[in-house]
A and B are shown apart, each in its own frame.
Chain A
Amino acid sequence: MLPVFLVSNKPFTGKNLIALGLALNLKERGYKVSYMKLIGKFPYRKDNQIIDEEAYFIHSMLESQEPAEYCSPFVWTYQVQYKLFEGEDLKMEEKIFEIINNQKDKDILFIISGDTFFEGYSLGIDSLSIIKKLKTKTLVIQTWEGETSIDDILGIKDLASDNFLGAVLNKVPSEQYFYLKETVVPFLINKGVKVFGVFKKDKFLESVTVRRLLEIVNGGIVCGEDKLDEFVENYLVGAMDPGQALSYFLRVHNKAVITGVHRTDIQILAMETSTKCLILTGGLHADENIVNIAKSKGIPIIVTSLDTFSVVDRIQNIMGKAILKEKDKALKFKEILAKEFDIEGFLKELNL
C-alpha cells in the first residue's frame, strides 16, 4: 500500500476535493483506494463517535467498508483540547500507524495534512513529521494567489526531497489560466516540480447550499423546504433604492438576497431575477404576499432575528470555505479532474 500525502500551507486549498476526485477516478480504474484526514475540524457525531464531517462524507462517497474512525482519527474538540493541556498523551502517532497498518490491502491511501505545514506539531502529526516518519509521497495542493504561491511548492519540495511527488495549482482565476499554463508551469517544471493539474476557480464548487445558509444564520424556513439542497453561488445585500435594485440584481445569478424583513419592495424585485433564496433579517414574520409569490416561484425564504450585518459576516466566512459534503459537487469535480489532471503521469510516478 502506498500512502500519498496531500499537503498545503493554507486552509481551504481543495486537498479533500482533489483527493476525492482522484480516489473516485482511480477506483473506477479498479484500484483499491482509501482516505484519511489527519486533523478534523468539523466535529460530527456518528454513533457515539466524534469524527470529521467532511472526512465522513468522503468515506461514504468511496463506499469504504473500514470503520469510520479510519477516515478521521483525530478531531479538534473542546475535550481533546482540555486533555492536551492537562498533559494527557493522546498517542496520535500510534493510532495513525495502526490505521495505516490495518489497510495494507489497499493500493493507495490518500492522507490529508493539516491546514499548514506545522499544524498538528503538538500531536506529532504535522506535515513534516508525517513525511519523515511515513516516507509518504507528497503532493502539494496550492491555491493561486499570485506569484508568491510558488514558494510553498518549492519549499516543500526541498523538505520532502526524495518523497516529493509534485504539485497541483487550484482555484486559478480564469483570466490567469493561460498565463499559468504557459509561464508558471514551465518554470516549475524547470525547477524539478511536476505539475499534475491546473484547476480554474469554479463558482459552483465554491457554492453553499440553502440548507447550509439556513444553518449558519440560525434561521427559520418559511417556504421552499424542498429547495434546501439548491446551490447558492453568490450573495447580495438588498439595501438600496428599489429604482436601482433591479439592474443590480440582474447582473448576479444563483444568488441569495439578504434584506430586512420589512423591505418587501426589494424582496419582490429579487424574486424577479435569478435568486436561489431570500434571507430576511431582523424579524421572524415575512409578509404574507411575499410568501405567496415565493411559493409560486419555488424560492425558499429564510427568516432570522440576526441583523443584516451579522448575516453577511457569517455568510462571508463560509463562502468558498465550505467543507465538502455535497454529492453533486463531488461528482462534478470527478469529471473535471478526469480532464484536467494527468492521471497517467501520476500513476507512473507512483509506479502503479
Chain B
Amino acid sequence: MSKESIEAIIDKLPATCSLYNPVDIIGDATSERYKIVLEQAIKDKYVDGICVILTPQAITDVENVATEIVRVSQNTEKPIFACFIGGKKVSSAIKILKSQQIPCYSDPSVAISSYKKLIDFSIIKNKKEPEIPKIEIPLENKEKVRLILEILENAGVSSVGEENATEILSLYGFNFPKKALAKTPEEAVEIAEKIGYPVVLKVSSPNILHKTDVGGVKLNLKNAEEVYNAFIDITINVKRFMPNAYIKGVMVYEMITDGKEVILGVSYDATFGHMLMFGLGGIYVEVLKDVSFRIAPLTKGEAYEMIEEIKGAKILEGVRGEPPYDKENIVDKILRLSQLVTDFPIIKEIDINPYVVKHQGGVALDARMIIGKL
C-alpha cells in the first residue's frame, strides 16, 4: 500500500498491526478492521487486487466480514477474492461470498496461483495480435508447385523423393548445391570438372531412401580419378545391396565444406495443424532431442524464439573465436516453410536435413516431403 494509505489508516488500527504487504490486522480483528483496510485499498492506485485471508478466532464475526467484502467489491473494478480457512466455522460466510461471485479458496497458495493466472490471462488478452509476415513468392513459382503437387497426388504418391522436394523448395527460395546427373563414370568426371572439386557423389534411385545404408554416397572427392572410382564403387555397392533397385545414374553435387548443420522441418498434428521444427543437426537432434516447435503460420519473432530456445543456441553465435552464423537466414527459411505449408496444406511433413547455415546465407543438402489429404 502507498504511504498515503498507510497514514490514512494507521491510527484506526492497533499498534501491533503490520501495514506493509501483506497487511496483517491480527487475530482479534472484527469486520470493522477489515472494512477500514478494504475501503482504503480499493482507493489506493498502487493496489491492483486484494486477497482477503481469514482464519476465525472466537470473536471473529465471519459473516460480517464476508458481507463487508461483498459490499466493497461492488464499489470497485479491482479483483477481490478470499481465502477463508476454518471448515464449518466459515461455511456460512463462504456461502455469502460465493452467492455474490467472490471467489473463495481454502488454501492461500491456490488462491495466489489463481491470481497469477488471472494476471497472465490479462497480459495475453492485451497483447497486440502479432503480424504474420508475408513472404513474397512469385505467382508463377506457386503455380509450378501446385502443378508438381497435383501430379504427385494424382499418382498416389505420399512420400515425395528428393528430386521433387528439392524442386518445390527451390521455388520457395531455398538454395541447394549445384548438381547434375551422370550416366557413366566419364560423365561424372566431366560434371565434377565443371562444378569444381571437391564434389559428392550420390546414387540416384527412387527405390533407395537411405543412400548411405547401401554404400550409395561418396564424399569429398578431390580429383578426376577419385570421382571415376567413386562412380564405379557406388554402382557396385547398390547392385550388391539392392540388386533390384532402379538406378537412374549417379548425381554429382558441389561439396559444401563449411557451415553448421541444422535441421528444418514441418510436421502435422491433428490438434495444432502444421508445426515448424528447428534443431541443430547430427547427434544433437538424434541423441539430445534438442529441437523447438511452433505452430504455423508464425511471426518473425516466433521464428527467432525457435532458434534461441534450443539448448545449443550458443553454437550458432560462434564459439572459440569463429564469427556468428547467419540466424537471419534461418529465420527467413523457417518463415518460407511456414508460408509453403500455409499455401499448400496438402504438404504434411517436410524434412530438410541437413540445412547448412553459413556465416552468410545457407544451403539445403537433402530434403524429403510427405503429402496427403487433411
**A contact residues vs B (CB 8 Å cutoff):** 41-45, 50, 76-79, 82, 216, 218, 306
Contacts and interface: CB of A to CB of B under 8 A. Distances in A.
Contacts of B240: 42-43
A218 B240 CA distance: 13
A78 B213 contact: no
Contact of A77 (B213, B214, B236, B241): B236
Given A45-B233, A218-B214, A78 B238 contact: yes
Contacts of B247: 78
A77 B233 CA distance: 10
Main secondary structure, interface of B, reads: helix
Interface string B215-245: 0000000000000000011011011110100
Contact of B236 (A50, A82, A218, A306): A50
A76 B240 CA distance: 10
A76 B232 contact: no
B330 to A, nearest CB: 26
Contacts, number: 32
B214 A79 contact: no
Contacts of B235: 77-79
B183 interface: yes
B239 A79 contact: no
A44 B184 contact: no
B239 A78 contact: yes
A218 B239 contact: no
Contacts of B232: 45, 50, 77, 79
Contacts of B236: 43-45, 50, 77
B185 interface: yes
B183 A82 contact: yes
Interface of chain A, main secondary structure: mixed
A6 to B, nearest CB: 22
Nearest to A283: B286
A76 B184 contact: no
A83 to B, nearest CB: 9
Contact of A79 (B184, B212, B243): B184
Nearest 6 interchain pairs by C-beta: A78-B235, A43-B236, A218-B213, A78-B247, A43-B239, A77-B239
A306 B213 CA distance: 10
Nearest to B214: A218
23 contacts: A41-B239, A43-B236, A43-B240, A44-B236, A45-B232, A45-B236, A50-B232, A50-B236, A76-B239, A77-B232, A77-B235, A77-B236, A77-B239, A78-B235, A78-B239, A78-B247, A79-B185, A79-B232, A82-B183, A216-B241, A218-B212, A218-B213, A218-B214
Instruction: Specify which of B212, B213, B238, B247 lies most central, judged by the most chain A CB atoms within 10 Å of its CB.
Output: B213
A79 B214 CA distance: 18
B217 to A, nearest CB: 12
Nearest to B238: A78
B297 to A, nearest CB: 33
Interface in B176-226: 183-185, 212-214
A207 to B, nearest CB: 19
B189 to A, nearest CB: 14
A41 B240 CA distance: 8
A45 B230 CA distance: 12
B204 to A, nearest CB: 11
Contacts of A79: 184-185, 232, 235
Given A79-B235, A218-B213, 20 more contacts: A41-B239, A42-B240, A43-B236, A43-B239, A43-B240, A44-B236, A45-B232, A45-B233, A45-B236, A50-B232, A76-B239, A77-B232, A77-B235, A77-B236, A77-B239, A78-B235, A78-B239, A79-B185, A79-B232, A306-B213
Nearest to B233: A45
A223 B56 CA distance: 71
Contacts of B241: 216
Nearest to A219: B213
A50 B231 CA distance: 13
Nearest to B234: A78
Contacts of A41: 239, 243
A296 B239 CA distance: 38
